[in-house]
Amino acid sequence: MPQPIPLPRLVPVPPADPPYDEQPRTTGSLALAPQPVRDRRPLAIGTSGSIPDERRLRGLGQALAEILAGRRPPETIQDRMSERAYTELIRAGKMIETPRAPMVGVPHVQSPRPGAVEMCLLVHCGPRSRALAIRLEKFGAQWLITDFETA
């Protein structure tokens, strides 16, 4: 029986590799615009146990695609990832080469078991598109990314 992953704790994190030449502009232009801490809601909509709505899942996928393209700092979704997944994201660095900002399509969502959601998104990056797979698991009232993969 799989053991639950411990909830992530906010700890100092080394800068992403490679370091940014300049600070990316994120205010008002990205999928998950910065929110005041008091207004931050968990990624859960509806009754207890329901999966997040498609709009929120797409926004989370968009933010992850922007991070993998090097257009957004990874700290912006740290609170929406498990500790292991966030470490992998930092280690991965820039994985998507694109001349323009990536744009994700409609997520294809499935729930293999209660408390787990897997989604696949098509990431449009100019002449070549990529696939992005994300797994989320429920911890309390919040859904956290526990694994991701791109090809």
Whether residue 129 has pLDDT greater than 70 = yes
Show me where the domains of the chain are located. 54-150
Arithmetic mean of pLDDT, 112-137: 91
Angstrom distance (rounded) from CA 83 to CA 105:
27
Q: Please determine, looking at this structure, whether the domain spanning 54-150 carries the CATH number 3.10.450.630.
A: yes
| Mean of the per-residue pLDDT values of the chain | 79
**Angstrom distance (rounded) from CA 125 to CA 98:** 5
Kindly tell me if the per-residue pLDDT of 36 is higher than 50. Answer: no
- State mean pLDDT over 10-38: 53
Specify the pLDDT at position 16. Answer: 55
Confidence of residue 35 (pLDDT cuts 50, 70, 90): very low
Q: What is the pTM for the complete model shown?
A: 0.67
End-to-end Cα separation, the chain, in angstroms = 29
Whether 8 has a pLDDT exceeding 80, the answer reads no
Please compute, for residue 128, the number of CA atoms within 13 A of its CA located in the half-sphere on the CB side: 6
